Each structure stands twice: as structure tokens, then as C-alpha cells.
Amino acid sequence: DYLAAIQQSTAVNIRELTNALKTLINNPEQRHQMGQTAKERAKSVFDWVKIIPAYEELWSELDKRRNSEKPQQLTQRKQNFHPSHLDPFSLFMEFPTSELSRTDHIHLEVKNWDEIIKLLKLKICLVYPESLLNFEGISQLILKLEEYPCQTVKNILDSMPRTNEKKILRTIVWLIKIGVCSHNG
């Protein structure tokens, strides 16, 4: 469930991926250049001479943080996930190329409710429902997109003021992932 929560709300722009793969497939020189660049980066970033000092710096910073926090601050932090696991959305938030922003436009791609329901029911699509809107919230979101098939994330958030913003954002990305919606950044 832990990693399923994050993968479920991670989407890939299929059009951009397809175009990038076509470019690489048709351009052996670019593939070779990218390989060389990757080798050089691996040597310059991941060599032990670089890694050990980075770890030492990290340990020092963590010691400073631990020593500066008051005991009550440590216990007052809200845990959204099991205490033995960090929140994967916070843990991996630096990984994506880009995050959904308030200015991104969301487009409703699938307008047939029977198709939408089929996609929503796919077991592989809904692994960790607790991190998303409930079915009623998902339906409300899709109805808002039916009304205006291309909206900014901000407009969607503003139209659902009493709903958990993080769940709305995760649900939008999930709908992009399963093909119900698409987005332009």
C-alpha cells in the first residue's frame, strides 16, 4: 500500500514520452551523446570521493536539526501514514520532472460515463484509495470538468473549497494517469 499510494498518483505525459522515444530511436548520435553525458555525470556525482563528504554533511545537518528541535515539536507533527513509514508524497516530492501547478490546464478526455466507470473500476488503477477523493468526490470533479472541459487546476480547487486540496491534486494526477484527463503545463 505504501508505494502504491505514490505510484497511483504519478502520471507520465504519454505524448511527450512518445515524441522523445521517437527522437532517440531515430538519432543514434544523440543516444551516444546522452550515454557519454550520463557516464561523465555518474563519475562526477557518484564517485566515493564525492559521496562520503556528502553523507558527512548530511549527518551533520541532521544532528543540528535534531538538537535544535524541542521535544514537543517532535511529537506534535501530524502523521498521515503509519509511523514506521514516512509519507511517500513528502519523501519523493523532489523526484518528478514537474509537479501539477495551479496554472496547469486540465482537459477532460473521456466524456462517456460508461468508459469513465470502466477505467475507475480497473483494479490496477485504484490500489490505495485513501489518498484520493472518494467516489462521490471523483464524480463531482468529473462533473465540473464536463461543465468546462478545459480548466486550470486553480479553478478546480476553487470550485471545491471544502475538499482536501492534496486529495484533489492526487486525484487529478490519478485521472491523468488512467487517461480520463490530460494536462498542459
* Residue 96 belongs to a domain: no
pLDDT at 78: 54
pLDDT tens-digit profile of 78-114? 555 566 667 777 777 777 777 888 999 999 999 999 9
Burial readout 62-77 (b: 16 or more C-beta within 10 A, e: otherwise): eeeeeeeeeeeeeeee
Three cell numbers at 19? 515524441
Residues 130 and 83 in one domain: no
The proportion of the chain whose per-residue pLDDT surpasses 90, expressed as a percent, equals: 55
* Residue 61 belongs to a domain: yes
Residue 160 has pLDDT above 80, yes or no: yes
The residue range of the domain holding 46 is 14-91
* Residue 7 belongs to a domain: no
For residue 71, what pLDDT band results from cuts at 50, 70 and 90? Answer: low
Residues 75 and 115 in one domain: no
Predicted TM-score (pTM) of this structure: 0.66
Q: How many structural domains compose the chain? A: 2
Residues 24 and 86 in one domain: yes
Q: What is the DSSP letter of 64?
A: H
